[in-house]
Amino acid sequence: MPELRFTFFRYINVVVTPVSSTVAVLKAFVELNSGSEEEVAPSVVWPVFSYKPDLVKAQNTFTVRLRFCTTCDTNESYGVYVSVHFESSAYTSAGCTSESVVVPASVTALWSASGLTTATTRALAFKLIPSNPEKEPFGCGCV
């Protein structure tokens, strides 16, 4: 079974800072290859969100999107690692080779602290997102 995981880090003045406990997920959606989208709840709580769709056929895709809410300031940013996981046993076709990715120790430490066992990491990407306290808070009550 594939897994898509979002691991968040909070930065204040570009220094990693413990994540706020006031974060709330507003909406999370998964879309399978059919194009239909359904709302889902993540299986792990902040700062790690994990999605494991029940059925994904070979050559199909799935996407996940989420919106979270927290208090923020202009000197804050959030970094997110997006990772894809599945075991080598998922490869059943002759000639397919499996790739694994080295994950930073700070990320694996958060996974361990969240009680996650980790299937082999197959892809990993990072994005740093500056906070914008002036942006519409989507009715979540954030300051």
In angstroms, the CA 69 to CA 81 distance is 18
User: What pLDDT is attached to residue 11?
Assistant: 86
Q: 115, 116, 82: which is closest to 101 by C-alpha?
A: 82
User: What pLDDT is attached to residue 143?
Assistant: 39
The residue ranking higher by pLDDT, 113 or 36, is: 113
Longest CA pairwise span in the chain (Å): 54
The residue ranking higher by pLDDT, 119 or 34, is: 119
Q: For the segment 7-22, what is each residue's pLDDT rounded down to a tens digit? A: 888 888 888 887 766 6
Q: 132, 122, 133, 129: which is closest to 8 by C-alpha?
A: 129
What is the domain partition of the chain in residue ranges?
3-130
The residue ranking higher by pLDDT, 34 or 101, is: 101
Round the average pLDDT of the chain to a whole number and report it: 74
User: What pLDDT is attached to residue 115?
Assistant: 84
Amino acid identity, residue 106? S
Query: Coil, strand or helix: which one is 127?
Result: strand
